[in-house]
Structure 1
Amino acid sequence: MTSSSYPVVSVLRAPHTGYLLFTSLVGRLPGAMAALAIVQLVRSTSGDFGFAGLVTAVYVVAGAVGQPLLGRLIDRFGQVAILTVSGILSFLAFTGMALTLEPVPALAVALAAAAGVFTPPLEPALRALWPRLVSPGPHLKAAFSLDAGAQEIIFIIGPLLTVAGIAVFGPVGNLLFAGGLGLVGALAFVVNPAPRAASVRRHPDAAARPRVGTPILIPAVARIAVCTFGIGVPVGALTIVATASEVARNSDGLAGWILAVNALGALIGATVVGIRPLGSTPARLLTACGALLAVGYLPLAATALPTWAYVVAAGISGLMLPPTLGQVFERIAQLSPAAALTEANGWVVSAMTLGVGAGTLVAGAIVGAAGTPVVTWIVVGASAVTAGLALAALPGRAEVGEARSDPAARAETGSV
């Protein structure tokens, strides 16, 4: 059977795609390393977990703010300049944060914010390139699903690299290591011809072209962002659910297994839809996929399940995440003006980040107040939020054919 029978294989064989996916994943690693790296560094100095939580929260929230802002600059000035400058600034902020956490904590908090704001927007940048790199239809669907599945690899490798980095470089050096990976990934990404070609196309006429308003003000795009926030809620709550389950079952290491198997389930889901992309349009599929994602988490509400069955349930809960996110990315590519596509993807990344953060925060507060028996209601509540907000993605009549009616969008989605 030829590779054309498997769109994901054709995507990986297309020029630039494998390299861009790999380098973008390297550049995104700080996002999966920073939280644990910061906690371990604070633990080795003041030991104040409250301060560690504050610094981590500042970094995460600042990153959610920075992605659409930097995405807008990319849409205006091209990928090469913005990714290069933001990568350097983020690395310098990581370096300053590592060196000032103990002697000047207030400065470290400010530098954590800078590291987050200047995080290179490699995720939205790559998703803005996919329509240029692969043909529409099954191949583009496979590309977005592959991207969503590969994201899971980051959250498997990131904590392991943090442990290795601390062992080799120490807590301070490990934070520098994390920031360095982000810089290396960003610089490696922009030396590829595809980002440079995209930048050359945009930059010469950037001053002459009328500014495009922020895509988040497009009602359809805003509704997709709301839906994506809902997708992130159970993902964030799972961290607390896994930890609470480990405590309730008195089973050391269970939380790690639950999260790892959940990520494995997501990889399986990404592989399946990469080989056999979903046939319908994202306008029709997104709400259905969101509802299935919500349903997939419900077995975790059955806290009386045997441990092995509960771990299997964690894997099931991850299956629909990449297919659902794949529909999000494809729908955003349809709805956003081509001249604002990177910013639109930045808003989606931020929405997901905030959803994960909200899920973790609320679930942690509930377990802290009521104990582990409330895990069932946390799972049910998080699933209800996902299913409810998935309804926001339902298209209105005015949106039918909206992306097709934009000649500029069609003109700018040719291959590199």
Structure 2
Amino acid sequence: MTSSSYPLVSVLRARHTGYLLFTSLLGRLPGAMAALAIVQLVRSTSGDFAFAGLITAVYVIAGAAGQPLLGRLIDRLGQVAVLAISGVLSFLAFTGMALTLDPAPGAAVALAAAAGLFTPPLEPALRALWPRLVRPGPQLKAAFSLDAGAQEIIFIVGPLLTVAGIALFGPIGNLLFAGGLGLIGALAFILNPAPWAASTDRQSDLTRSARVRSPILMPAIARVTVFTFGIGLPVGALTIVATASEAARSGTGLPGLAGWILAVNAVGALVGATVVGIRPLGSTPARLLTLCGTLLAVGYLPLAVTALPTWAYLLAAGISGLMLPPTLGQVFERVSQLSAPAALTEANGWIVSGMTLGIGTGTLAAGIAVGASGTAAITWIVLAASALTALLSLVVRPGRRHR
């Protein structure tokens, strides 16, 4: 059979796709490293879980604000300049945060906000390029599935790189390491001709794109954004849950357990992405979103059983990741159906924003809970996050008006 029988193979063979996917993932590594890196840096100084949750949440929430804003700039000005400038500014903020967290924690919180705000919007930028790089239909569906699955690689590699970075460079050097990888990835991404071509086209069409209203004003996209916020809640809480689980098992568990929990969670997600890539879900995104979100919420429930042996808890972490890529794949496809092409980067930016805001909220709430009640709060954190995810999945349930 030819590669046309396998849309995923044809996507990978299309011009520029492999390079853009790789460099995009490289530039997005700080998103998979920063939360754990910041928490571990705070633990090495004050050891305050509540402050760790606060500064991590500030970073993530600022990123949520920055993605649609930078996405709108890309829709108006093109990818190259926005990605380059934001990459440099984010790296400088990472550097300042790492160096000031111990002597000046207030300044470190402000710099964490800047690092998040200027995070290069590589994720929405790549998704806006997919319709230019591959054919519509099965090939475009395969590209979105590949995107959702491949980003799980960074959530496998990211925590392990954090563990290795702390061992090699110390907690401060590890944060600089994470920021540097983000800058390298952003600059490498814009060396490709595709972002330059997209930027040239956008400049020539600036007047028309400036008249396109913000996609968040569309009720259907707003509902998908709220849904994506909901699936981010347990993902964000997991960073604190993993760190607290490591602390609770100190002396009896696996060294670096927090990093392993997050990495195994991402392995589970990669398995989910592989399965759905081989056997695509057989209905429309509008009908599948609620089901996918509910199954994702249920998958996190085993992590509430804190008495599990370490090996079983790691298995539960893997189970909790299974439904994330299938759910995100449906989100990406639905947004591409709903958004005007001239606002597609911003629309994807809002989706990223919803996800990261959910992650930040989950991290902050979990940090406060563990800071107040200790590791005994893990069970209630998982139960609450799963319940909210299932509840918010109802906003996109079948039968609602989607346009």
Query: Shift in Å at residue 48 of structure 1?
Result: 6.6
Structure 1 residues 210, 124: CA separation in 2 closer, same or farther (over 3 Å shift)? closer
Distance 1:382 1:208, change over 3 A: closer
1:342 matches 2:342: no
Q: Which residue matches 1:61?
A: 61
SS at match of 2:136: coil
Q: Larger deviation: 74-83 or 312-321?
A: 312-321
| Residue 3 of structure 1, CA deviation | 3.1
Superposed displacement of residue 188, structure 1: 0.9
Counterpart CA distance in 2 for 1:77 and 1:346 is: 15
Paired residue secondary structure (1:203): helix
The code of the aligned residue for 2:193 comes to: P
Number of the residue aligned with 2:332: 329
Q: How far is the alpha carbon of 1:383 from its aligned partner?
A: 2.2
Give the match for residue 408 of structure 1: none
CA apart distance, 1:130: 1.5
Q: Which runs of 5+ in 1 are unaligned?
A: 403-416
The amino acid that maps onto 1:317 is: S
The secondary structure found in structure 1 opposite 2:206 is: coil
- Find the counterpart in structure 2 of residue 144 from structure 1: 144
C-alpha spacing 1:312/1:192, structure 2 compared with 1 (3 Å): same
After superposing the two structures, state which structure 1 stretch, 292-301 or 166-175, moved more. Answer: 166-175
Distance 1:390 1:156 in 2: 26
The TM-score with structure 1 as length reference comes to 0.86
User: Could you tell me whether the CA contact under 8 Å between 1:6 and 1:275 is conserved in 2?
Assistant: no
Which residue in 1 is equivalent to 2:239? 239
RMSD over aligned Cα, in angstroms? 2.8
| Comparing 3-12 and 198-207, the one that deviates more | 3-12
1:305 to 1:138, Cα distance in 2 relative to 1, 3 A:
farther
1-structure distance, mates of 2:201, 2:261: 46
| Residues 16 and 232 of structure 1: CA distance in aligned 2, closer, same or farther (over 3 Å) | same
Any gaps of 5 or more consecutive residues in structure 2?
none
**Partners in 2 of 1:230 and 1:36 — Cα distance?**
21
> Structure 2: which amino acid aligns with 1:154?
I
| Structure 2: distance between partners of 1:177 and 1:371 | 30
User: Hey, what does 2:284 align to over in structure 1?
Assistant: 281
Cα shift at 1:330:
0.8
Match of 1:158 in 2: 158
Aligned residue for 1:363?
366
In structure 2, the CA distance between the partners of 1:234 and 1:398, relative to structure 1 (3 Å rule), is: closer
Matching of residue 379 in structure 1 with residue 382 in structure 2: yes
Residue 409 of structure 1: aligned partner:
none
Equivalence for 1:271: 274
Matched residue, 2:79: 79
Q: Compared with structure 1, are the counterparts of its residues 2 and 367 closer, same or farther at alpha carbon in structure 2 (3 Å cutoff)?
A: same
Alignment length, in residue pairs? Answer: 400
Name the CA shift for 1:103/1:261 in 2 (closer, same or farther; >3 Å).
closer
Which secondary structure state, in structure 1, belongs to the residue aligned with residue 235 of structure 2?
A: helix
Query: Residue 57 of structure 2 contacts residue 364 of structure 2 at CA under 8 Å; is this kept in 1?
Result: no
Q: 2:213 corresponds to which letter in structure 1?
A: G
Partner residue, 1:187: 187
Letter in 1 for 2:18: G
2:282 aligned counterpart, secondary structure? coil
State the TM-score, normalizing by the size of structure 2. Answer: 0.88
Q: What's the offset of the Cα at 1:236?
A: 2.2
Q: Which residue of structure 1 aligns with residue 253 of structure 2?
A: 252
* Range with greater deviation from structure 2 (35-44 or 210-219): 35-44
Q: Is the CA contact 1:7–1:275 (under 8 Å) kept in the aligned structure 2?
A: no
